[in-house]
Structure 1
Amino acid sequence: MTEQFNINQFNCSISGKGQSLVWAHGLCGCMQSEDAIGVYAWHRFPKKLQLIRYDAIGHGLSTQGESVDDYLWPNLAKDMLRVAEHYRATTPLILGGQSMGCATSLFAVLAQPENVKGLVLMTPPVAWQARAAKVDYYHKIAKAARILGGKGLAQMNAKHLDKMLPSWIIDAHKHSVLGMLDGLKSMKRQTLNQLFTAAALNDLPTKQQLSTIQVPTLILAWQGDEAHPIDSAISLNKSLPNATLHIANSMDDVNDWPALISDFCIAVDH
């Protein structure tokens, strides 16, 4: 990845003023798909805080990456920090994200610990030994992506939503949950191939690296999602010195998450 940074590569959304939360979405997602599923309720995020969201490289309305390296989590973390710097986000930052965005945030704080004051980690991805067991799976998806493209993968995933989300979320959001696949439909074959090849190479920071992250951290996890197992969240909670973990077992629990995120950001700001 070149060190030159072009903000025009990234589709960004900024609202509010004050302490900045820079938020990154998950693998094959985008701001549009986050809004479609209806879990995040970003429209309720306090206006006294600044919310910076963006489509990661190769996702949504942002431009495609050039190689597999562009989709490695430490490089996505560089993008996150550069987006924050370009928009003159209030520093130190609060960083957060879902799944891939959670990993992006962790690598960003490791890269610039003095520039981060809080983390929000939503549904951390499968990691460590469990992720190593899925390497062949990621390579198979990368191969399928070359053949099927975004629309084909979206059609396939629509038949297996239970592999992507807990069944109780699917039941609660029957009319909107397919919208989370909208971002995937427009993704190019080459991008998806590179993205899933990178997924086979990616992993969360080591437990030793995590132990050095001192900032307050909010971890949000849910039961019944094999791509985002609560084991990852529990291990993060144990490894991070200043973390709080909330595990959702129902839609009522998840409905509390927007308020938990807002309250956390306000508390960290004071």
Structure 2
Amino acid sequence: MTEQFNINQFNCSINGTGQTLIWAHGSTGSIQSEDAIGLYAWHRFPKKLQLIRYDAVGHGLSSAGKCVEDYLWPELANDMISIATHFSTPSALILGGQSMGSATCLFAALKHPHKVKGLILMNPPTAWHARAAQVGDYHKIAKAARIFGGKGLAKINAKHWDKLLPSWLINGHEHSVLGMLDGLKLMTRQTLDQLFRAAALNDLPNKQQLAELTMPTLILAWHGDKTHPIETAIQLHAIIPNSTLHIAASIDEVNEWPELISEFCLRL
């Protein structure tokens, strides 16, 4: 577990000034892979807001973790708040993230509710009973990672997109969807092993804790993704009092997400 925060361990990107949105990518992702996909359109994010993006520990160009515990979501939440505090006013944060990043946001908001003005949860991951049923799968992936490494797993995933993403999304972004694997290709066997063993231990906070979150929350999900089932998003919407839910079923609806994120941040 990280004993002392060191900003030099993290690859960060900071643009704009004003109200801060700090954004966390998903598992095996990175700043580079998000840009390669083209789904987020960060280049259109309002310049009068500050956008902080970073590669999580062991991802992209950030330093690798030392042990499994460094990849647990509460620890990632500590990293998020430390990075945000380093670059911005800590009492005026909007936290946002995709998949693993959205889980990071929830733990950070629960630990530092007085610092958080809003939450953006994109594609929340499997949680609670559904996640418990996948523990064995995460251990299998960890074993495969020790054998094949990041490049090997990327080749395998490239042949099985239909099991990873909705078909309508693949068709709509067929020229850029392979960019999702850019982050995975860079990851070492040891990092992936620790990451997926941590995935077997990770879960979202319990529902009683989440019900205590009162800040405005934007939840974004899409149909047809087993790793990010809409059931998680629907339950989060029911639990978090001041939340709004958008569920996409087409590429046109997903293409509206960057504007929804910008509008949400500007309102705050």
TM-score (normalizing by structure 1): 0.98
Shift of residue 38, structure 1, vs aligned partner: 1.1
d(CA) in 1 for partners of 2:136 and 2:174? 31
Partner of 1:203: 203
Partner of 2:93: 93
Matches within 5 A, 1:161-200: 161-200=161-200
Asked if structure 2 preserves the Cα contact closer than 8 Å seen for 1:20 and 1:91, the reply is no
d(CA) in 1 for partners of 2:7 and 2:138? 29
Instruction: Show structure 1 runs of 4+ deviating over 4 A.
Output: none
Partner of 2:63: 63
Partner of 1:18: 18
Partner of 1:84: 84
d(CA) in 1 for partners of 2:48 and 2:165? 32
Asked if structure 2 preserves the Cα contact closer than 8 Å seen for 1:21 and 1:96, the reply is yes
Asked if structure 2 preserves the Cα contact closer than 8 Å seen for 1:15 and 1:47, the reply is yes
Asked if structure 1 preserves the Cα contact closer than 8 Å seen for 2:119 and 2:215, the reply is yes
Gaps of 5+ in 2: none
1:237 maps onto 2:234 in alignment: no
Q: What SS does the corresponding residue of 2:213 show, helix, strand or coil?
A: coil
Partner of 2:106: 106
Asked if structure 2 preserves the Cα contact closer than 8 Å seen for 1:19 and 1:90, the reply is no
Paired-residue identity, %? 70
Asked if structure 1 preserves the Cα contact closer than 8 Å seen for 2:2 and 2:70, the reply is no
d(CA) in 1 for partners of 2:2 and 2:32? 27
Counterpart of 1:116, as a letter, is V
Counterpart of 1:110, as a letter, is L
TM-score (normalizing by structure 2): 0.99
Gaps of 5+ in 1: none
Counterpart of 1:251, as a letter, is I
d(CA) in 2 for partners of 1:145 and 1:89? 39
Partner of 1:7: 7
Shift of residue 179, structure 1, vs aligned partner: 1.0
Asked if structure 2 preserves the Cα contact closer than 8 Å seen for 1:25 and 1:99, the reply is yes
d(CA) in 1 for partners of 2:88 and 2:22? 11
Shift of residue 165, structure 1, vs aligned partner: 1.4
Shift of residue 186, structure 1, vs aligned partner: 1.1
Shift of residue 39, structure 1, vs aligned partner: 0.7
Shift of residue 162, structure 1, vs aligned partner: 1.9
d(CA) in 2 for partners of 1:136 and 1:33? 27
Q: How many residues align?
A: 268
Q: What SS does the corresponding residue of 1:2 show, helix, strand or coil?
A: coil
Shift of residue 2, structure 1, vs aligned partner: 3.0
d(CA) in 1 for partners of 2:193 and 2:221? 28
Matches within 5 A, 1:120-139: 120-139=120-139
Shift of residue 90, structure 1, vs aligned partner: 5.6
d(CA) in 1 for partners of 2:3 and 2:229? 34
Kindly provide the CA deviation profile for residues 205-258 of structure 1, in whole angstroms up to 9, marking residues without a partner as x.
Answer: 111010000000000000000000000000000010110000001011001100
Of the structure 1 ranges 67-76 and 161-170, higher mean CA displacement relative to structure 2 is found in: 161-170
Shift of residue 122, structure 1, vs aligned partner: 0.2
Asked if structure 2 preserves the Cα contact closer than 8 Å seen for 1:18 and 1:90, the reply is no
